[in-house]
Amino acid sequence: MPMTKFKRIIKGGFINFKRGGIVSWAAVLVVTITLCVITLIILFQAVLHFSLDQVENKVDVTVYFTVGAPEDQIQALKTSLEQMPEVASVDYTSADDALALFRTRHENDYPTIQALDEIGENPLGGYLNIKAKQVSEYGDIANFLQSDNVLSLNSASIIDKVDYNQNELVIDRLNTIISNGQKLGFLITLILIIISIIVTFNTIRLTIFISKEEIGVMGLVGASRMHIRGPFMIAGAIYGILATIITLLLFWPATLWLGHNMTAFLGINMYDYYLASFFQIFTILLLSGILLGVISSFLAVRKYLNK
């Protein structure tokens, strides 16, 4: 018996959708616009996170060692840094590698190479390149390096210099930009979603307004609330499903065009991202569309049931 009622409710939902005609398709259009806004937000967040990640990847702290610093002490410091929770990675470039890189960079600078050959020995020390998990954590790493008194050579520190002080202002500004960018992205997302929900709710309420007399009659003859609400909620789910399909079809060529023409500007191939995240985007849109349609229908019908 419950299954029979459920089938009748589903059938009633399709009947309501078909009976609505142009108004039903107007509701689908509004839900589609809402889902397009959500998809744009997802793509905007992808570009924002990619840009912020690129900025973060260019920030680091380099520790330069004195010439002749013992390898065992350098490796001990490297191990200590790697054990810090703030550190994402530590790359070591030995003095010999530093010299080879220097020669490669200045291979066309004959006077510099000649002067280096005349010295007869390696004038460069090794260095550590440190990347933090968060830009805001570079200060803690710098404080650790400045307070370290264990690693020394003949009572002198093996650390020649740490470039954090020179880059501190840039790092602080980048940290502010990243923090403000994330907050702005969240605020824009929240505002657009709220506006979309309000517009969708009012449109679906308009489609149900047409059937307000029918709802009143069904209530008078003793129909249960679920039997009255059910078909409208199913119709709302249909709005969401159709809107999801339309939105995905619209963004397929749109992201393809963006991938071909805007990758250099955006920094990310939007089409590749769309394909890679297709299942995730599809799930978000489908759930959002169905929930918008069902909840809006439920609330709109309740208004007429309470009269």
The CATH number of whichever domain residue 119 belongs to comes to: 3.30.70
Domain presence at residue 258: yes
Contact between 96 and 122 under an 8 Å Cβ cutoff? The reply is yes
Return the minimum-mean-pLDDT range out of 76-85, 173-182, 244-253: 173-182
More confident residue, 123 or 200: 123
Shared domain for 180 and 51, answered yes or no, is: yes
Domain presence at residue 61: no
Asked if pLDDT for residue 198 goes beyond 90, the answer is no
- What six digits make up the tokens of 114? 């000649």
CB burial string 140-168: b at 16+ within 10 A, e below: ebbeebeeeeebeeeeebbbeebebeebe
Contact between 232 and 301 under an 8 Å Cβ cutoff? The reply is yes
Domain presence at residue 162: no
Number of structural domains found in the chain: 2
Shared domain for 146 and 277, answered yes or no, is: no
Shared domain for 130 and 186, answered yes or no, is: no
Shared domain for 232 and 286, answered yes or no, is: yes
Asked if pLDDT for residue 216 goes beyond 70, the answer is no
Look up the domain containing 89 and give its range: 67-157
Share of the chain above pLDDT 90, in %: 8
- At 160, give phi and psi (nearest 5°): -80, -50
Shared domain for 180 and 301, answered yes or no, is: yes
How wide is the angle at C-alpha 34 spanned by C-alphas 30 and 35, nearest 5°? 115
Place of tokens 């009748």: 8
Q: Which residue blocks in 21-134 are alpha helix, DSSP H?
A: 22-57, 71-82, 95-105, 110-119
Shared domain for 74 and 148, answered yes or no, is: yes
| Of the ranges 145-149, 163-167, 194-198, 279-283, the best mean pLDDT one | 279-283
CB burial string 24-56: b at 16+ within 10 A, e below: bebbbebbbbbbbbbbebbbeebbbeebbeeeb
Domain presence at residue 164: no
Shared domain for 41 and 188, answered yes or no, is: yes
Shared domain for 239 and 111, answered yes or no, is: no
Contacts of 210 (CB under 8 A, 6+ apart): 20, 23
Domain presence at residue 192: yes
CA atoms of 298 and 29, how far apart (whole Å): 19
More confident residue, 2 or 87: 87
Shared domain for 112 and 223, answered yes or no, is: no
Q: Mean pLDDT, the chain, as a whole number? A: 78
Domain presence at residue 40: yes
3-state secondary structure of 151: coil
Shared domain for 236 and 183, answered yes or no, is: yes
Shared domain for 199 and 277, answered yes or no, is: yes
Shared domain for 283 and 245, answered yes or no, is: yes
Domain presence at residue 269: yes
Entry pTM: 0.67
